[in-house]
Amino acid sequence: MKSPLTGREMKLMSEPSTLNYRGKQYNVNHHFYLCELSNEQFTTTELDEQNLLELNKQVKLDFLKQFTNIEEKINIASLYEGKDKQTI
């Protein structure tokens, strides 16, 4: 992708980042293009979607952690009320 400021090709980069979602902080890899002359960061729609997928993955993992037991198995009964207690 070319920089809208300089017209030169930019490097595709990623770096660890912390995002806040509903009062919780999540560690994700943030993907962006870096204009080396201006040191500005740019994204495309595709990179924005990828960054949101990274956040969504972390939120889902955090949600599932509340249903896991010591053996790292999910208690299905805690997900579905009234079902027999089974683990996967």
Is residue 47 assigned to a domain? yes
pLDDT tens track for 27-71: 999 999 999 999 999 999 999 999 999 999 999 998 888 777 656
Residues 42, 1: contact at Cβ < 8 Å?
yes
- 41 burial (CB, 10 Å; 0-12 / 13-18 / 19+) is middle
Task: Tell me: pLDDT of 79 over 80.
Answer: no
Is residue 38 assigned to a domain? yes
Q: What's this model's pTM, rounded to 2 decimal places?
A: 0.69
**Residue 13 has what pLDDT?**
95
Which residue range is the domain that position 65 belongs to?
A: 11-79
Residues 45, 33: contact at Cβ < 8 Å?
no
> Total structural domains in the chain?
1
Q: What whole-number distance in Å separates Cα of residue 21 and Cα of residue 8?
A: 34
> Which H or E run includes 57?
helix 45-65
